[in-house]
Structure 1
Amino acid sequence: MTTMTTTTQSRATPVASEAAERAAAAGGGVATRRRPGVRIPRPSGWSLIRLASILVYVFMFAPIAVVVLLSFNSSRFGTFPLEGFSFRWFEALWANDAIVSAFQTSLVLGFLTAIISTSIGIAASLAMVRYDFPGKGLINTALITPILVPEVVLGVALLLFLRWLSIPKSFLLLLMGHVLITLPFVVLVVQARLTAIKPVYEEAAKSLGANAWETFFRVTLPLLMPAVFAGMLFAFTISFDDVTATLFWKSGGTETVPTQIFAMLRNSISPEINALGTVMIVLTVSLPLIAGGLARWFARGGRG
């Protein structure tokens, strides 16, 4: 019996010792035995996703950063390291009559597109949100469908349709095409804002004697202004930056800034293209940021 007891105690001693070490570690104590070696933490799945996301963003924005840097290079050749900091290519840019004309065309086209798309978008959003009528779902789907169709397909389809109608290319056709492209974005932004506005405000204005026009301009439109400005700036940015559909719809001799860049790239790579690309990047990035800032400013009631 003594021998069996001793054997049992000798077998239980390592188990008890190991249990004591675990208890000490769990209770904040210092374990008497440590396993040799250093444990290397394995990367988690989220760490790999973050690393992959960073690499993707670097791959996407590194060429843009290179274009911006080369636009300030004093050398005519786009090589690194930069030979010096200069604004000579921006000065040459504004001295180029073709580029200045393309800028004027893009600004006028973008401004008219923003005005028309926003006006139609407000009316369509009011009809979709505030009223019920036959075919409402079909019309709403038709308004948003241009987002789902690739611009190449949309551009070719509209061009073939207008040729079938024997309508020549013109600035008006180009404007109609840009309105068609930008209208869904305005409708989505305005509808999202209008859905959050309770109809009781409009009903209260009507109960006080205001007609439909006074209710819209004094109650509904001021509440919609964040979405209106955001949609307008988005429409201008999309119109100003569009190149795929514009190539199909523009008439001969009419060039926008993106199509002018495309035409310049056919002949040679000039340092002016880097400067023009930098201007395009600044405009297309700053305008949505301004739209978001204006939306928040109007949402706070115009207070800083």
Structure 2
Amino acid sequence: MGFGWSMIRLGTILVYGFMFAPVAVVMLLSFNASQFGSFPMEGLSFRWFVALWENDAIIRAFRTSLILGVLTSIISTTLGVLAALAMVRHDFPGKRLVSTALVAPILVPEVVLAVALLLFLQFLEVPKSFPMLLAGHVIFTLPFVVLVVQARLVGIRKEYEDAAMSLGASPIQTFFQITLPLMLPAVLAGMLFSFTISFDDITGTLFWKPGGVETVPTQIFSMLRNSISPEINALGTVMVLITVALPLTGAALARRLASRMRGN
């Protein structure tokens, strides 16, 4: 038994090492003083991060990704909270069908979803635009918010809400003063999930974005088609730091809020 678990641990370490070794190499080469990404490194330098800051195309892509991610997280979180409330707190005809439709984008491969939405909008003669790109990101990220918030809402006893309304609170007051604070960690987690997924997405974005609009992932893809520049390594490092820091920050906030609620 001990030997078997040791082999499982070794296999797990090797698999994760194989997965994350290329990311570590990219991050290491982003600090390479040389223009050629090779080992041994000639020295450590932040020159490529400075070059990123001076690259107008990359700055525009970052601005677009941030705006798109923020709008996606706001819309997906709002719709996801409302959908989770409907799924958990109410019964209505076709509830199972609606629940399946809400999580269906997770089950469908993203490239199939991207092509389907593109063809559908072309059938409606709707041109590519930023709202179309935003709608695609909302469709893709909404299921994650619904699942996270719904899992939290199931654990909140409805008696709390009934007690508040029996004391004269309206349904809206009950939601903002009782339900929302109790499920706030899940709401924040869903919001961060949707922002991170939107910020990192490239498959759907390539199909939905209008001409002249680039996000950070599509900008990296465009730069790779021309040549492998050291700026790409620096840009990849920034992407990794953002996408890792946000979930960790969200998890820390969720734990702090949950512990504070237990203390109260």
Q: TM-score, normalised by structure 2?
A: 0.97
- Choose the corresponding residue for 2:37, options 47, 65, 78: 78
- Is 1:90 aligned with 2:37? no
Q: Which of these residues, 3, 8, 12, is aligned with residue 53 of structure 1? A: 12
Q: How far does residue 243 in structure 1 lie from its aligned partner after superposition?
A: 0.3
The alignment partner of 1:179 has SS state of: helix
Task: Give yes or no for the alignment of 1:147 onto 2:106.
Answer: yes
Could you tell me how far apart the structure 2 residues matched to 1:301 and 1:209 are? 27
Aligned pairs (5 A) from 1:126-275: 126-275=85-234
Change (3 A) 1:130 1:56: same
More deviation, 251-260/294-303: 294-303
Per-residue CA deviation, residues 224-256 of structure 1 (Å, 9 max, x unaligned), is: 110111100110000000001100000000000
Which whole-Å CA distance do the structure 2 matches of 1:294 and 1:175 have between them?
A: 27
Q: 227, 234, 243: which one pairs with 1:284?
A: 243
Match of 2:71 in 1: 112
Deviations along 1:122-162, one digit per CA (max 9) or x if unpaired, are 00000000000110011001000100111111101110111
Q: Which string of whole-angstrom CA distances, capped at 9 and with x for unpartnered residues, describes residues 58-83 of structure 1?
A: 11111000000000111101011111
AA aligned opposite 2:25: V
**1:237-287 CA distance string (max 9 Å, x none):** 000000011000000000000000000000000000000000000011111
The match for 1:23 is: none
Report the secondary structure of 2:251's partner residue.
Answer: helix
| Equivalent pairs, count | 262
Is 2:55 aligned against 1:101? no
Identity %: 70
Could you tell me which residue of structure 2 aligns to residue 44 of structure 1?
3
Q: CA deviation at 1:210?
A: 0.4
Higher relative contact order (CA 8 A, sep 6+): 2
SS of residue matched to 1:44 = helix
> Structure 1 residue 43: deviation in Å?
7.6
Cα shift readout 1:138-187 (whole Å, capped 9, x = no counterpart):
10010001001111111011101111111000000000000000000000
Structure (1 or 2) with the greater helix fraction: 2
Uncovered stretches (5+) of structure 1, i.e. residues with no partner: 1-41
Aligned partner of 2:260 in structure 1 is 301
Counterpart Cα distance in 1 of 2:214 and 2:70: 16
Kindly report the root-mean-square deviation, in angstroms, between the aligned alpha carbons of the 2 structures: 1.2
| Aligned match for 2:21, one of 62, 69, 81 | 62
Residues 43-52 or 283-292, more deviating: 43-52
Report the TM-score when normalising by structure 1.
0.85
Deviation at 1:47, TM superposition (A): 2.1
Q: Which runs of 5+ in 2 are unaligned?
A: none
SS in structure 1 at match of 2:37:
coil
Larger radius of gyration: 1
Bigger mean CA offset, 48-57 vs 223-232: 48-57
How many angstroms does 1:44 deviate by?
2.6
Give the whole-Å Cα distance in 2 for the aligned partners of 1:62 and 1:222. 41
Matched with 1:27 is: none
Give 1:57 deviation, angstroms: 0.8
Q: Which secondary structure does the structure 1 equivalent of 2:51 belong to?
A: helix
